[in-house]
């Protein structure tokens, strides 16, 4: 079995749920306290053993690429004041991984965005971290996915139980428990944005999948699905029906950064434990909550 060392982060979506701000700042570059959201994903991948990451971007998404570059102006200004630690931190963020960028020229859907990565991936298995899904976990969730891939030897989708309302917006998986495991299921079908009565289970894919390169042939044959987009779920459903995939209920809390509520929740969570402002922010939050009563 080939080692998983590559990942894709699709970040070319329009982010219409985050308008008006996404019109000026890519949602994947919005701050979680003092770091752009996407840097958390890059770190998660790196801490999982990934060395090469392709970020799929689009027009008006330059802020993402710029963040991972050196900035001689900031370096000079900070060094002039002896703030070397901050310069080291900026460089450490820029050098976390071998980063590659490709544009998806039209936002035709997540499946289409992943399809842009074919030549980057070659004949290796690869992880996909959806660019607006943040997970805070004890073990990086991408690592949990790789462990499941190495254990069961087939594609893995990261899942969680969701509410009926979320299920109709995400997807629903047909699963059976895998004997001896508490959080892994065998999945042999799935449906994107199921209508009432079409649901298989309350398990939905949330932001992380690990795929084999054979998926690209399937993606290239896809017709537009739900919402008129090329849906990654439709390609993964085909893989599930022919080979089966592992559905892994991962450990960790997931935040939908493509929604205003999810973005705020992630910020409050991170701010409350932040090394610089955590203590004061928690005090503020306690006081704020008291006044809500």
The contact set with ligand UTP (CB under 6 A) reads 10-17, 28, 56, 104, 107-110, 112-113, 130-132, 258
List CB contacts of 186: < 8 A, sequence separation 6 or more.
175, 176, 177, 178, 244, 246, 247
Closest distance of CB 230 from ligand UTP, Å: 8
Q: How far is the CB of 46 from ligand UTP (least distance, A)?
A: 18
Q: Which is nearer to ligand UTP, 112 or 174 (CB)?
A: 112
Would the CA dihedral through 129, 135, 139, 145 be positive or negative? Answer: negative
Q: Which is nearer to ligand UTP, 56 or 78 (CB)?
A: 56
Contact 233, 194 (CB under 8 A): no
Q: How far is the CB of 129 from ligand UTP (least distance, A)?
A: 9
Dist. CA 188–CA 195, nearest whole Å: 19
Task: Output 131 or 140, the one with its CB closest to ligand UTP.
Answer: 131
* CB-based closest residue to ligand UTP: 13
The CB-of-215 to ligand UTP minimum distance in angstroms stands at 16
How far, CA to CA in Å, does 63 sit from each of 11, 22, 31, 212? 12, 12, 12, 30
Q: Hey, what are 267's tokens?
A: 């910020």
The candidate with the shortest Cα–Cα distance to 126, out of 251, 266, 232, is 232
Closer CB to ligand UTP, residue 78 or residue 157? 157
Contact between 268 and 285 (Cβ < 8 Å): yes
Q: How far is the CB of 89 from ligand UTP (least distance, A)?
A: 25
Nearer CB in complex with ligand UTP: 166/183: 166
Question: Phi and psi of 32, rounded to 5°?
Answer: -105, 95
């Amino acid at each position: 079995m080939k080692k998983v060392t590559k990942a894709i982060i699709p970040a070319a979506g329009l982010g219409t749920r985050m308008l008006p701000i996404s019109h000026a700042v890519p949602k994947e570059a919005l701050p979680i306290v003092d770091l752009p959201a996407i840097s958390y994903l890059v770190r998660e991948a790196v801490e999982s053993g990934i060395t090469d990451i392709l970020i799929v971007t689009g027009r008006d998404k330059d802020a993402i690429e710029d963040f991972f570059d050196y900035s001689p102006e900031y370096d000079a200004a900070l060094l002039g004041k002896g703030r070397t630690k901050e310069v080291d931190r900026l460089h450490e963020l820029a050098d976390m991984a071998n980063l590659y960028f490709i544009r998806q020229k039209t936002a035709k859907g997540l499946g289409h965005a992943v399809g842009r990565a074919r030549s980057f991936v070659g004949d290796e298995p690869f992880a996909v971290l959806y660019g607006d899904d943040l997970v805070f976990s004890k073990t990086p969730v991408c690592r949990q996915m790789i462990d499941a891939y190495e254990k069961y030897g087939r594609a893995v989708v990261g899942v969680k139980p969701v509410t009926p309302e979320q299920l109709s917006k995400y997807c629903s998986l047909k699963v059976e428990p895998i004997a001896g495991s508490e959080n892994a299921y065998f999945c042999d079908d799935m449906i994107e944005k199921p209508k009432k009565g079409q649901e298989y289970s309350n398990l939905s894919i949330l932001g992380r999948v690990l795929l084999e390169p054979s998926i690209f042939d399937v993606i290239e044959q896809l017709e537009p699905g739900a919402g008129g987009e090329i849906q990654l779920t439709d390609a993964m459903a085909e893989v599930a029906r022919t080979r089966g995939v592992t559905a892994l209920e991962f450990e960790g809390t997931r935040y939908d950064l493509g929604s205003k509520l999810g973005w705020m929740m992630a910020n409050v969570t991170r701010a409350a434990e932040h090394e610089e402002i955590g203590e004061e922010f928690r005090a503020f939050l306690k006081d704020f909550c008291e006044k809500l009563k």
